[in-house]
Amino acid sequence: MQRLLILGTGDMARTHARAFSDIPGCEIVAAVDNNPENLQRFCKEFGIATQFSDLGAAIEWGAFDAAANVTPDPVHHPTTMQLVAAGKHVFCEKPLAVTYPLAREMADAVRAAGLVGMVNLTFRNASAVQHAHDLVRSGQIGAVRHFEASYRQSWLVGNYWGDWRTEARWLWRLSEEHGSLGVLGDVGIHILDLASYGADSDPAAISCMLKTFNKAPGDRIGDYPLTANDSTVMNVELKNGAVGVIHASRFATGHANTLKLSIHGDQGAIRIDLDQSWNHLDICRGSNIHNQAWERIEAPQVKSNFSRFVDSLGQGLAQDPDFERGARLQQVLDMCVQSNAEMKTLTF
C-alpha cells in the first residue's frame, strides 16, 4: 500500500484526492495546508484523519511514502526540495517551478536521490493525445512537416467560471506580483506539451510574442496589479525539422476550455479537438491524402497520470511526464519570455 500525503487543499487538490482515492494500492494518509479552514473542510470531505499546518511537521511525522504537491506555483520548488531531502516521492502540479533554474534543480535532486518525480500535465490523460503520439512515432503520417496548436479560454470575457474581477482565484492569475506567469505559465505549458509530445519532438527554436491587455482602470484591482500576459503566440521549429504555430489566450470569446492540435506529415495528418472528445482523433492517410478525406478512429484507453504515478512508486522508476519533462518545458517558457523581451528568435 502506497501512503500518500496531499500538500495544499485548494480546488485542484480535490481532483487529486478523488483520483488517488479510487486507485487500488493507494491510501491518502494526511494533508497539509496553512489555511486551517481549508484544511479541516478538505480532510472532512475525504475522510483524512491526520492534518498538519506546515510541511516540516508532516515530514517529522514521516508516515507517508509520497506527496501530491498541489501548492501555488511559486511554492512548488521549496516544498518539493524539502520532500526530496526527506526521501519522499513527489507528484507535482504544473508548472514544475516558475523558472528553469529552479525546475532543473528539482529534476536533478529527484534523479540524484533515486526518487520518483512526475508532473501532472492534465491532457496526457486524454487517450487521443497518447494515440496521436504513438501514430506519429510509428511513422503513420511520415515525416512531420507542420503543426498547429491552440488553447482557447474566455474567462476574461464571460462569467462561465465566475467573475474574475471579484474572485482571488482568478485575480492572482493576472498578477506577476502574485506569482503568475500569465496565460503562458497557466495554460501555455499545456499546449506546448501537447504540441511537442504529439509531434514527438522537442522545440529547437522559438519566437514568442506576449500580450497584456488593459482590463481595469490603472491596470489594478485592489491588491492585484494586472501585469501578467493574457495571450501568447509562438512560432516554433521542432528538432525533427517541423515548423508550427502555438497560441493561447484568455480572450478567445466563445471558448470555455478548448485545445486543438493538428499535425501534418508527408504521408498523412492527424487532428485532435479535446473540446469535442478526449477519446477519438481524425486521421488522413493512405489514398485519402489525394482527396482530403478524414477517418475518425477511437483511441485505446490509457491510465491517468495519477494511476501511472502510483504504478511508478511500485516500480521505482518515473513514467512520462517526469520532472525532466517538466524542466524542459519550463526552459521553453523562460525562453518565450526572453524572446518576447528581446523581440528575436532563440535557439536551444
Predicted confidence (pLDDT) at residue 63 exceeds the cutoff of 90:
yes
For residues 84 and 76, the answer to whether their CB atoms sit within 8 Å is no
Within 8 A by CB and 6+ apart from 213, the residues are 156, 230, 231, 251
Does the structure show a pLDDT above 90 at 183?
yes
Q: Are residues 99 and 19 in the same domain?
A: yes
Return the pLDDT at 36. Answer: 94
Q: Are residues 37 and 132 in the same domain?
A: no
pLDDT tens for residues 231-285?
999 999 999 999 999 999 999 999 999 999 999 999 999 999 999 999 999 999 9
* 79-138 pLDDT tens trace: 999 999 999 999 999 999 999 999 999 999 999 999 999 999 999 999 999 999 999 999
Rounding to the nearest 10 degrees, give the CA dihedral for residues 173, 174, 179, 183: 70
The model carries a pTM of 0.94
With respect to residue 325, please indicate whether it lies within any of the assigned structural domains.
no
Closest CA to 258 of 278, 247, 273: 273
Helices 36-46 & 11-21, crossing angle to 10 degrees? 20
> 6-16 pLDDT, tens per residue?
999 998 999 99
Please indicate, yes or no, whether residues 98 and 219 belong to a single structural domain of this protein. Answer: no
pLDDT at residue 2, rounded to an integer: 97
* Residues 128/136, Cβ–Cβ less than 8 Å: no
Q: What pLDDT score does 336 carry?
A: 97
Residue 22: inside a domain, yes or no?
yes
How many angstroms separate the CA atoms of 306 and 23, rounded? Answer: 8
Here the cell at position 317 is 522508476
Q: 276 and 134, same structural domain?
A: yes
Same domain, 106 and 137: no
Statement to judge: residues 251 and 140 lie in one domain:
yes
Q: 32 and 153, same structural domain?
A: no
Number of domains in the chain: 2
Structure confidence by residue, pLDDT tens digits, 162-174: 999 999 989 999 9
Whether residue 198 lies inside any domain: the answer is yes
Q: CATH number of the domain at 70, please.
A: 3.40.50.720
Which of 89, 110, 58, 18 is closest to 311 using CA atoms?
89
Residue found by looking up cell 501512503 in the block: 3
Task: Give yes or no for residue 179 having a pLDDT over 90.
Answer: no
260 and 195 within one domain:
yes
Percentage of the chain beyond pLDDT 90 is 97
Please provide the average confidence, as pLDDT, over all residues in the chain: 96
Q: Which domain holds residue 156?
A: 124-302+330-347
Position 121 scores a pLDDT of: 97
User: Does 169 lie in the same domain as 81?
Assistant: no
Q: Is residue 200 part of a domain?
A: yes
User: What pLDDT shows up at residue 318?
Assistant: 95
Specify the range with the lowest mean pLDDT, choosing from 22-26, 28-32, 178-182, 335-339.
178-182
* Pairing, β 224-225 against β 231-238: unpaired
What pLDDT is recorded for position 58?
98
Same domain? 69 vs 95: yes
In a domain, residue 215? The reply is yes
252 and 137 both lie in a single domain? yes
> Given this model, what pLDDT does residue 109 score?
98
Cell matching residue 269 = 495528418
Domain assignment present for residue 324? The answer is no
Let me know whether 136 and 259 are in one domain: yes
